[in-house]
Structure 1
Amino acid sequence: MTTNIPTQKSTDAVKTPTGDTAPLIPLPAALARVLTLAGSAVALAGTFLAWTWTDEFPGNLTITGYPGGLQVLTLIGAALTILFALSGYGIRGLRWLTPGGTHSPARATSLGVLGATGYALGAISYVLGGVVNLEPGAWVSAIGALIAALGAFALPADVPRDADDATNPWARFRHSLAAPEPGRAKELPSWAEILIISTAFGIGLYVFSFGIGIDTDNPELFIGFLIITGFSFTALTRAGLLKRLSALTAKYRTVTLTAAFVAAICFPFTQTNDQFALIGANILIFATVALGLNVVVGLAGLLDLGYVAFLGVGAYAAALVSGSPQSSIGVQFPFWAAVLTGAAASLIFGVLIGAPTLRLRGDYLAIVTLGFGEIFRITMNNLNGNSGPDVTNGSNGIPNIPDLEIFGFDLGIPHDVLGQELTRSGNYYLLMLLCTLVVVTVFRRSADSRIGRAWVAIREDETAATAMGINGFRLKLLAFALGASLAGLAGTVQAHVSYSVTPEQYQFAGSVPPNSAFLLAAVILGGMGTISGPLVGAALLYLIPAKLQFMAEYQLLLFGVALMLLMRFRPEGLVADRRKQLEFHETGQLDVPDDKGLPETATGVAKAGA
């Protein structure tokens, strides 16, 4: 009698791949390539033709031979589609765009062109009263964008698809946008890598300046800008370019911070409207406070729902010592003393609130901090001379806060710098940029220190951290105090930028940021525990409502929908660290067990040897 003894086999040998690379649209590969390139070229050519006959639609789309408004977005998207498509075909000189020869970036940009062009046609028809207002150029670009999208999705998939996904249209669509892990990049000289970092920040400055410079009377252009930017960001991610740029910025941290700081300094000189520079200053205030909250939430893992109150404490403390005629104290400190006063006041309140509450965890801590935020707002309302002492002037707040004067430099009047006029908003923008640099430095040093690693340990598992000898309460209180003082630092500048402080500015949720809900969302949206994540999240959450004021009534609804989509498709945030990517996308678990309790791979081995 012969006995069959199962031999040892590797998982890869037993589990053969059953997927294929069939495209979403069944067309020959050669035809798909032609359609992608030809459609993108047609869409690009259509932008040089008139899209409508009247200049009543914002952007003046009536000129032939000179793209404007929404036409520029279609032109940029079509050009990117052509570049990614040629790179995916292995064209020499463009392989660096998609080193693995992938087609998913071209699919993403083709969808962006189709979405932006289709939205433009719909907006023109809605604003002007029908499709009869569309000129041939609009139809040319729309048809070209549709052809390019069909061709892009007819290209072979980059990653083998499981057989189970063949009958699921949504799974097939998502799979068509997937891309394989990019290979190891070719080593470049140091000067070339530094040049790439500088160029990337220059492009980022241009994109940000373009978006913030869109007039609020032209929301159609801003929506189109969001469509193109979103799909282009997806394309760059699928191509692996953002991952490689992240590796370079991690390698040259000092160069990265310097390039970012220089690009940020140049921003106010790119704006011709003082209102846009003011938006930039408010974004920095919002971003700085979000970065301070990132110490509490992102590093220490403490859910704080009343963090905006610390911003209010710093703002009220600075307003009381600013020399305002309505101040109950009647003193005027120099700027450095006002900054220290605001930061110290927030620090004291952080310790006073944190000492009795940080022994709580999870939802209980969140409820207590939410209550503190509401108590602060109500207390500022009651200190009006009637319900309590006359300190804050009640709901009227403290108005007429004078402009700052630093070393004889009055921030309230315009100044000429290298032949460029720097307005009041530009002055405060640069001041807030200096404060942001301080906060970024503090965050970076804290995160890399022994204390920062202890915060991360507490965030991951406080019980295990305590068992390893970490004093959880003391370190959590330190994180709470540090985050509060950083918020107070930003509050001192906010008080002077806005000329006044009122209790209604510091709510848990409202239509105008900053508030606690938007601050927490900025940290989660951008990426917890990172430096650039909260800055990106805060910029998006402040800029989008500022530009789409006509949707103010539906802002919270759209905000909730956006958060649900984010949690579904990118729970680690827009700028995630490696830890979060592993947590949400690479579980490292064994295969799903079958009915007998064995993993599929082990069952396959047993069946193979039986």
Structure 2
Amino acid sequence: MTNTTDTIVDTTKVSTAPATPIVPLPPAAARATAVAGSAVALVGTFLAWTWTKEFPGNLTVTGYPGGLQVLTLVGSLLTLLFAVSGYGVKGLRWLTPGGTNSPVLLGALGVLGTTGYALGAISYELGGVVNLEPGAYVSGAGALLAVIGALGLPVDQPYDPSDPHPHLWGRIRHALTAPEPARARELPSWAEILIIAAGFGAGLYVFAYGIGTEYSELFIGFLIVTGFGFTAVTRAGLLKRLSALTAKHRNVAMAAAFVAAICFPFTQTNDQYALIGANILIFATVALGLNVVVGLAGLLDLGYVAFLGVGAYAAALVSGSPQSTIGVHFPFWAAVLTGALASLVFGVVIGAPTLRLRGDYLAIVTLGFGEIFRITMNNLNGNSGPDVTNGSNGIPNIPDLEIFGFNLGLSHSVLGHELTRSGNYYLMMLLFTAIVVLVFRRSAESRIGRAWVAIREDETAATAMGINGFRLKLLAFALGACLAGLAGTVQAHVSYSVTPEQYQFAGSVPPNSAFLLAAVILGGMGTISGPLIGAALLYLIPAKLQFMAEYQLLLFGVALMLLMRFRPEGLVADRRKQLEFHETGQLDVPEDKSLPEGATGVAKAGA
């Protein structure tokens, strides 16, 4: 028997050499090309893009951008600022603390996507490219030139030679990985507070603009430019700096967010858009309640929308509706407590026998509960069962709430602005959302919240450390159900009626269990702002793109697959999730001095 020694060389070490640019341009020429292309695309928005007003947005005016031209202008200006900041211009260096090149590429891609979509939509709806005016070609050529210049810039991070996609797709994917921003110099407290206020003010403006888009073409362009622009701002390091400031001034940030949300109904002149805002808050509040169950405790609940239905039905039965089979009329506070308490009781009743299950078994049982609730509400019609819920007809004609003589169903003048019915319910739901956020935050930071996280990570280990897993899981289930019931009481009055079809596992109209779970995963499990952002996106997009209702579930599935592939931790992820989903899994190996510099040797003996 002879022993042989083999040497294994680790070749996965990341090289600090920059990647070969896709476009063979010197860095200075590439940056100049990106600057010139962005400027040309911006100038093109002041020229006419088409000759007829049949395309929405009136893109026929020279010297006054409108519709999709405004989105191209904003994207071009942002890309231009990022590109110019790479020259080290004093006063613009703060724009890119995390890297100067990746934001340029992402911004240029957003401009190209928005402009290309606009040109394609004009050609498709008006019958050919002959309907395009010179301004459209100028902006399109400028956007393409900006992308070419951005692709010629070196990457912001060390290059990995083992990347299987070293060319265009790898270059774009590399731009999506942001380095840590440079340490910012300390600013006075008043300046940091002003930055926080400006950040939330910008967020309010973007959100209000997205809801107020009047036609689908403009909303699709808004999604393109906002998606790439938000990613570019994130990769530039600005969002991390803003997050650091909000963490430092947490109470100020919470107050600024609340004030910005209060201002939203005063920015809308159409009652329909304020109603969308109210429904988004209902959806977001329920998603935040589900985040207690899924994000903190790690319990996969596929029938969570049933708790929303329990609260809604309970409030409808005591609302004084002529079709209510109970025939009572509770005041507002009593109706809210009735809905929340009914959902809490159902949460305990359902959770007590089922929470001894884990994983897929628990998910199947909760899915069954959601379907049982819907079928039961449909059968309590006086024929198949007792006459309680009017069966498939539901409980219509739910009267508007009245709080201290203030009727939420009537318009009121506040500071010279007419606040409509939808605005009234939006502000009341905003108060409920603030309460739910406070409950979630206090729960997550308490001993119980840390115990939930321990159960989520490893229930067996948590039990071995003395944590009563069943009791704490039941508490999470009951708390999540109570928060959903709280939102359900408002939903019943906002929609005037409740029917069994509103509370399904999946459907084309949220809220339903599938969309609620997706909102938590999309936004970021275990965070506060994540489910709020995810719920806003998942409700707003179907509401604005109703012409794509037939393909909604298909697009929904594709979006989830892309999310799981490229950002499994969600849009707003905590530090734990980022490390969990992006760790390399490689162990550090002592360097073998006998090998060439930069290589690692591992001696492996074999017979």
TM-score, normalised by the number of residues in structure 1: 0.94
Assess if the C-alpha contact under 8 Å between 2:208 and 2:268 holds in 1.
Answer: yes
Q: Show the counterpart of 1:209.
A: 208
Q: Show the counterpart of 2:292.
A: 295
Shift of 1:593: 12
Per the alignment, in what secondary structure is the counterpart of residue 470 of structure 2?
A: helix
| Structure 1 residues 164 and 332: alpha-carbon distance in aligned structure 2, compared to 1, 3 A threshold | same
Shift of 1:248: 1.4
Per the alignment, in what secondary structure is the counterpart of residue 416 of structure 1?
A: strand
Q: 5 Å matches for 1:270-309? A: 270-309=267-306
Q: 5 Å matches for 1:403-442? A: 403-442=400-439
Per the alignment, in what secondary structure is the counterpart of residue 295 of structure 1?
A: helix
Alpha-carbon distance between aligned partners in 2 of 1:513 and 1:166, rounded to the nearest angstrom = 39
Assess if the C-alpha contact under 8 Å between 2:15 and 2:159 holds in 1.
Answer: no
Alpha-carbon distance between aligned partners in 2 of 1:525 and 1:178, rounded to the nearest angstrom = 18
Assess if the C-alpha contact under 8 Å between 1:53 and 1:133 holds in 2.
Answer: yes
Alpha-carbon distance between aligned partners in 1 of 2:429 and 2:40, rounded to the nearest angstrom = 45
Per the alignment, in what secondary structure is the counterpart of residue 63 of structure 1?
A: coil
Shift of 1:190: 1.2
Alpha-carbon distance between aligned partners in 2 of 1:67 and 1:352, rounded to the nearest angstrom = 59
Q: Show the counterpart of 1:186.
A: 185
Alpha-carbon distance between aligned partners in 1 of 2:556 and 2:64, rounded to the nearest angstrom = 36
| Structure 1 residues 183 and 329: alpha-carbon distance in aligned structure 2, compared to 1, 3 A threshold | same
Aligned to 2:461, which of 461, 464, 470? 464
Shift of 1:586: 2.7
Assess if the C-alpha contact under 8 Å between 1:18 and 1:163 holds in 2.
Answer: no
| Structure 1 residues 545 and 164: alpha-carbon distance in aligned structure 2, compared to 1, 3 A threshold | same
Per the alignment, in what secondary structure is the counterpart of residue 421 of structure 1?
A: strand
Q: Show the counterpart of 2:329.
A: 332
| Structure 1 residues 101 and 488: alpha-carbon distance in aligned structure 2, compared to 1, 3 A threshold | closer
| Structure 1 residues 100 and 398: alpha-carbon distance in aligned structure 2, compared to 1, 3 A threshold | closer
Cα deviations by residue, 1:541-586 (Å, 9 ceiling, x for unpaired):
0000000011000000000000000000000000011111111113
Alpha-carbon distance between aligned partners in 1 of 2:310 and 2:294, rounded to the nearest angstrom = 20
Partner AA of 2:106 in structure 1: A
Q: Show the counterpart of 1:4.
A: none
Q: Show the counterpart of 2:557.
A: 560
Alpha-carbon distance between aligned partners in 2 of 1:228 and 1:57, rounded to the nearest angstrom = 20
Alpha-carbon distance between aligned partners in 1 of 2:528 and 2:496, rounded to the nearest angstrom = 29
Q: Show the counterpart of 2:577.
A: 580
Partner AA of 2:543 in structure 1: A
Alpha-carbon distance between aligned partners in 2 of 1:230 and 1:102, rounded to the nearest angstrom = 19
Q: Show the counterpart of 2:20.
A: 22
In structure 2, stretches of 5+ residues that fail to align are: 1-9
Q: Show the counterpart of 2:124.
A: 126
Shift of 1:591: 5.8
Shift of 1:601: 8.2
Partner AA of 2:271 in structure 1: D
Assess if the C-alpha contact under 8 Å between 2:212 and 2:273 holds in 1.
Answer: yes
Cα deviations by residue, 1:268-319 (Å, 9 ceiling, x for unpaired):
0000000000000000000000000000000000000000000000000000
Shift of 1:166: 7.8
Assess if the C-alpha contact under 8 Å between 2:98 and 2:237 holds in 1.
Answer: no
Alpha-carbon distance between aligned partners in 2 of 1:514 and 1:15, rounded to the nearest angstrom = 47
Assess if the C-alpha contact under 8 Å between 1:24 and 1:173 holds in 2.
Answer: no
Assess if the C-alpha contact under 8 Å between 2:31 and 2:153 holds in 1.
Answer: yes
Q: Show the counterpart of 1:35.
A: 33
Note if 1:106 corresponds to 2:104.
Answer: yes
Alpha-carbon distance between aligned partners in 1 of 2:204 and 2:16, rounded to the nearest angstrom = 45
Q: Show the counterpart of 1:174.
A: 173
Shift of 1:226: 0.3
TM-score, normalised by the number of residues in structure 2: 0.94
Alpha-carbon distance between aligned partners in 1 of 2:402 and 2:266, rounded to the nearest angstrom = 21
Assess if the C-alpha contact under 8 Å between 1:22 and 1:157 holds in 2.
Answer: no
Aligned to 1:238, which of 235, 238, 249? 235
| Structure 1 residues 167 and 473: alpha-carbon distance in aligned structure 2, compared to 1, 3 A threshold | closer
Aligned to 1:165, which of 150, 163, 166? 163
Partner AA of 1:128 in structure 2: L
Shift of 1:107: 0.7
Alpha-carbon distance between aligned partners in 2 of 1:25 and 1:50, rounded to the nearest angstrom = 31
Note if 1:315 corresponds to 2:298.
Answer: no
Partner AA of 1:180 in structure 2: P
Q: Show the counterpart of 2:4.
A: none
Partner AA of 1:52 in structure 2: T
Alpha-carbon distance between aligned partners in 2 of 1:112 and 1:302, rounded to the nearest angstrom = 38
| Structure 1 residues 498 and 16: alpha-carbon distance in aligned structure 2, compared to 1, 3 A threshold | closer
Q: Show the counterpart of 2:5.
A: none
Cα deviations by residue, 1:189-243 (Å, 9 ceiling, x for unpaired):
111111111110000000000000012xx11110000000000111011111111
Partner AA of 2:275 in structure 1: L
Q: Show the counterpart of 1:367.
A: 364
Per the alignment, in what secondary structure is the counterpart of residue 418 of structure 2?
A: strand
Alpha-carbon distance between aligned partners in 2 of 1:148 and 1:198, rounded to the nearest angstrom = 32
Partner AA of 1:394 in structure 2: G
Alpha-carbon distance between aligned partners in 1 of 2:200 and 2:105, rounded to the nearest angstrom = 25
Shift of 1:182: 1.7
Partner AA of 1:174 in structure 2: R
Q: Show the counterpart of 1:5.
A: none
Identity %: 84
Aligned to 1:484, which of 481, 484, 504? 481
| Structure 1 residues 247 and 586: alpha-carbon distance in aligned structure 2, compared to 1, 3 A threshold | farther
Per the alignment, in what secondary structure is the counterpart of residue 163 of structure 2?
A: helix
Note if 1:341 corresponds to 2:346.
Answer: no
Partner AA of 2:129 in structure 1: V
Shift of 1:176: 4.6
Q: Show the counterpart of 1:199.
A: 198
Shift of 1:185: 2.0
Q: Show the counterpart of 1:81.
A: 79
Aligned to 2:261, which of 259, 264, 275? 264
Cα deviations by residue, 1:448-503 (Å, 9 ceiling, x for unpaired):
11100000000000000000100000000000000000000000000000000000
Note if 1:571 corresponds to 2:546.
Answer: no
Alpha-carbon distance between aligned partners in 2 of 1:73 and 1:328, rounded to the nearest angstrom = 52
Partner AA of 2:200 in structure 1: F
In structure 1, stretches of 5+ residues that fail to align are: 1-10
Assess if the C-alpha contact under 8 Å between 1:95 and 1:101 holds in 2.
Answer: no
Per the alignment, in what secondary structure is the counterpart of residue 505 of structure 2?
A: coil
Partner AA of 2:339 in structure 1: G
| Structure 1 residues 118 and 592: alpha-carbon distance in aligned structure 2, compared to 1, 3 A threshold | farther
Note if 1:252 corresponds to 2:243.
Answer: no
Q: Show the counterpart of 1:547.
A: 544
Partner AA of 1:115 in structure 2: G
Assess if the C-alpha contact under 8 Å between 1:15 and 1:604 holds in 2.
Answer: no
Question: CA RMSD of the aligned region, Å?
Answer: 2.0
| Structure 1 residues 592 and 140: alpha-carbon distance in aligned structure 2, compared to 1, 3 A threshold | farther
Assess if the C-alpha contact under 8 Å between 1:320 and 1:330 holds in 2.
Answer: yes
Aligned to 1:386, which of 364, 383, 386? 383
| Structure 1 residues 100 and 363: alpha-carbon distance in aligned structure 2, compared to 1, 3 A threshold | closer
Alpha-carbon distance between aligned partners in 2 of 1:542 and 1:15, rounded to the nearest angstrom = 44
Shift of 1:22: 2.8
Q: Show the counterpart of 1:7.
A: none
Partner AA of 2:182 in structure 1: G
Q: Show the counterpart of 1:534.
A: 531
